[in-house]
Amino acid sequence: MANVAVIGAQWGDEGKGKVVDWLASRAEIVVRFQGGHNAGHTLVVGNQTYKLSLLPSGLVRGKLGIIGNGVVVDPEALLAEIARVEAQGLRVTPENLRIAENVTLILPLHGAIDRAREAARGARQIGTTGRGIGPAYEDKVARRAIRLADLAEPETVVAKLDELLLHHNTLLAGLGAPVFEKQALFDALMALAPKVLPFAEPVWERLDQARRDGTRILFEGAQAVMLDVDHGTYPFVTSSNTVAATAAAGSGLGPAAVGFVLGIAKAYSTRVGAGPFPTELTDATGQLLGDRGHEFGTVTGRRRRCGWFDAVLVRQAVKVGGIQGIALTKLDVLDGLPELRICTGYRIGGELFRRLPAAPGAQAAAVPEYEVMEGWSGSTQGARSWAELPAQAVKYVRRIEELTEAPVTLLSTSPERDDTILVRDPFEG
């Protein structure tokens, strides 16, 4: 049996939460390996809706959740999220949640610098969540980050705060924002230490043993390939690598343990915030997709921009993300549309491209070329077998497979966890 890594194949918000929740029923461990609490996974379980940002989705299934070293963790946000789900009846303790001891912490100053920079950009804003994820990753790379294990050593925290404040207070002052005081930060971290340190351990050891024992592991990605800091629509991206290869580095396991890579894609396209979006629809059809799909960001609450399915973009995500199969979600949102379009290329300055260029000017200038398909009149909502789908819906799915060069291995037809058509079990490899 293979392990499985789940990543987004578009710009995020593709429905990873439901798919991970569904797959977690057959896994024993679910691992978050990158991102921070800028990610948002919504899980609908009966009459309960769980909105998770840092907690691995498998906790809802009673599985062991692990937050790997590739994640950046805001301890206050983590504790608040734990309190929120516990109010819904879900217990989270060191028995079912473990956090890598070498995980980087997000401090209040990271959010402050994040928001101050974004405000200074004015009309050229990137569209960050303002939660400090990018600045925390910067400190990690600059080797001045405070990590979870450091909270057990007050003297280490004191020394690191000196370097952090020298850097960040200078920037904050230059941006006209309030600066931070060392003692207040230190006291806050020491108050948090006894609450979060019980979750800490060298998770790589646990995961290595699980691999040796043949325990099924599900790696849960955040954001998506087109928000990858290297492969996405830079600079309108997140601050971590979102491709499946990061599951190895971000958890402490070797690359051979990652297993089958499942890419999540909507049957249309959405994007939150700024950045290029070649197939965006600003007309009544775009409004209809947003209304039917309830397209609001789990974390930001902002309405998502909507557009036609972009096969060029998803094919690129398949290649660089290592995707072996696609989980196609929200097919039911397209029910009843008389005509559907799939982007098969971009015109940029008269030249036809079958990929998304790296230069931001070229990305912004990309004009999509479409293949037009007939829609279907029947309903796909709640379908649990191919036989329940209208013939034209099946043709649409098959065309997506051809254009993206990846098989649809799983089809989601509603937010309910059991409204799923399984073509190939990812855990079978």
> Is 13 considered catalytic here?
yes
Q: How far apart are CA 126 and CA 386, in angstroms?
A: 41
> Is 167 considered catalytic here?
no
* Sequence-distant (≥ 6) Cβ neighbours of residue 72 within 8 angstroms: 35, 36, 103, 104, 105, 106, 133, 136, 137, 140, 240
Tokens 């896994």, residue located: 27
**Alpha-carbon separation of residue 184 from 125, 144, 197 (angstroms):** 31, 19, 20
| Sign, CA torsion 75/80/84/90 | positive
Strand segments, DSSP code E, in 159-311 are 200-201, 217-220, 260-266, 269-271, 305-307, 309-310
Tokens 């050891």, residue located: 205
Cis geometry, peptide bond prior to residue 235 (ω within 30 degrees of 0): yes
| Catalytic-labelled residue, pool 37, 41, 110, 168 | 41
Give the number of residues written for the chain: 429
Q: How far apart are CA 333 and CA 266, in angstroms?
A: 10
Q: How far apart are CA 307 and CA 120, in angstroms?
A: 30
**Alpha-carbon separation of residue 318 from 104, 105, 124, 163, 411 (angstroms):** 29, 31, 30, 41, 17
| Catalytic-labelled residue, pool 13, 21, 310, 332 | 13
CB 408 within 8 A of CB 400: yes
Structure tokens at 267: 């049957």
Tell which residue, 312, 240, 324, has the closest CA to residue 279: 312
What residues act catalytically?
A: 13, 41
